[in-house]
Amino acid sequence: MDTAFVLVNCDLGAEEEVLVELKHIDSVKEVCGTFGAYDVIAKIEDSDRDKVRDTITWNIRKIPHVRSTLTLVGIPGQS
């Protein structure tokens, strides 16, 4: 299972809308609003690494009000 954590910056005031949209994406397993440099963190899991990449590129980054993302890829066997 491949895992990635996506840190998301949103337009001011759009955090709740982005959280709702993230919850509708199949590979997104957890989402959480955060304080600090990023507004939301999402945990992505899929058995296919390409699917994880595609979820970030074609789903998360295309959500309205997402300004930027930073992706952290998990190391297999270190969870």
Q: Which fold has domain 2-67?
A: Alpha-Beta Plaits (3.30.70)
Q: Where are the domains of the chain?
A: 2-67
Q: Is the pLDDT of residue 79 over 80?
A: no
Q: Which of 61, 56, 31, 43 is nearest to 3 (CA)?
A: 43
pLDDT digits (tens, 9 = 90+) for 15-41: 999 999 999 999 999 999 999 999 999
77 or 36, greater pLDDT: 36
- What is each CA distance from 34 to 2, 42, 51, in whole angstroms? 23, 10, 25
Rounded Cα–Cα distance for residues 34 and 77 (Å)? 27
pLDDT score recorded for residue 10: 98
